[in-house]
Chains A and B, each alone.
Chain A
């Protein structure tokens, strides 16, 4: 078993319906993601999952100096940021890819699969 981080990317700017174009799409994506999460849980893959607040609300902290330095905004400037993620456990990479594909379909976003060490 290997643990993987599945990150969902979305636009930096979020509108009234988050990263979705309209209410209907948003409601469907959330419902589908809920179903997917339940399946992950039931099959013993799910370790943790959650959505993130906007990247614009992030703060970068550098504590390497004598006093910590805080800077407003995300660590990297980008047009797209991680909007949410799952931490899962899978038998192997192919299984992780298959789960990521399902998750991507459910939440309607592209998913990055990255193994933990």
Chain B
């Protein structure tokens, strides 16, 4: 990559969301914003290597994109008078509440993750509009046809336009729910990257985890008082820190007790720990992301699996269970209980989850591990079989397959 190409890539990463957000606000139309921003960056790619990089690349992008948007609207106006009225009606929606943050990117995040859109559309729109991933990249990341992904994004934009979903920060009473909606979209992007669905696919898609982290950093900037955004960022950093140790060269997932802790990313861990301590020092009751981040801080603090402070992990899961009585939390708590009180106690807990989690591969894999540790090999083998059958990714099947095959016959 030449130096100019490097600059263009960096400016693209840094400025795309801001440019699209600014245009969307000015012209009230996501299509125009997206196309004009793409056009401006294409011009930079053509010109900057010849003419040099402008003094303020971000401002150059914004100005060029705005000019392109106006050109586009003029062209379309000449074609269709009706469209002019629609498109020149520059956003007149009710002003944002006094004191609210008015960064255009925040409005863009809220519109992309609007609860009236399907979850898969929210994910795609957020990655495209705010993250700047191309449709091709998003399609590849989610293993769908490019045409399907393009259609998904087009339909979501059409609904936003037809239903008049306006470009604003939600009212104070709706804000907490909408922020957690934005975080949920980003956590989903991260999880898809962290453990991709689909057989015979690489289990980790680092571009998605990296993008999710970048978006969460942005939200932290935009909403500095949102503690759950901080929690989510810490959670993702502490998870991402272990990415290299989590998969073998042959693509098999490595469980926490088997991971080479020397391969963990110490810089990410240090940042994650700093954020967790920041949250622990506050008096506000932590939400689910903050608690999960704290759990991961305990794991990443132990230099050896055996040194893990399991009592604290169990205590944190107890707090989490109060916020979210989901059986998955009970299952994860049981894994910590197995280390603290032994596999028999843990097994007794998770056997009660059979009805709700019978279709979840991790439930059977956990059961199989506990049974193996108790020497109940035949039952363990059967549970591994079920886990393998239900797993969604080849990397997920590799671990139970190996464990099952190592059981004494």
Contact = CB atoms under 8 A, between A and B. Distances in A.
Nearest to A97: B116
A59 interface: no
B107 to A, nearest CB: 12
A10 to B, nearest CB: 22
Interface in A67-92: 91-92
Interface residues of B, number: 13
A54 B171 CA distance: 39
B164 interface: yes
A97 to B, nearest CB: 7
A117 interface: yes
A96 B163 CA distance: 9
A98 B25 CA distance: 23
Contacts of A91: 93-94, 166
Please list the 5 inter-chain residue pairs (A to B) with the smallest Cβ-Cβ separation, ordered nearest first. Answer: A2-B164, A92-B166, A93-B165, A93-B163, A115-B163
Interface residues of A, number: 11
Nearest to B161: A115
B163 A2 contact: yes
Contact of A92 (B93, B162, B174): B93
A115 B164 contact: yes
16 contacts: A4-B163, A91-B93, A92-B93, A92-B165, A92-B166, A92-B168, A93-B114, A93-B164, A94-B170, A94-B171, A94-B174, A96-B163, A96-B164, A97-B116, A115-B162, A117-B162
A92 B116 contact: no
A113 to B, nearest CB: 8
Nearest to B93: A92
Contacts of B170: 94
B162 A94 contact: no
B116 A93 contact: yes
Given A93-B114, A93-B164, A96-B163, 5 more contacts: A2-B164, A91-B166, A115-B162, A115-B163, A117-B162
Nearest to B174: A94
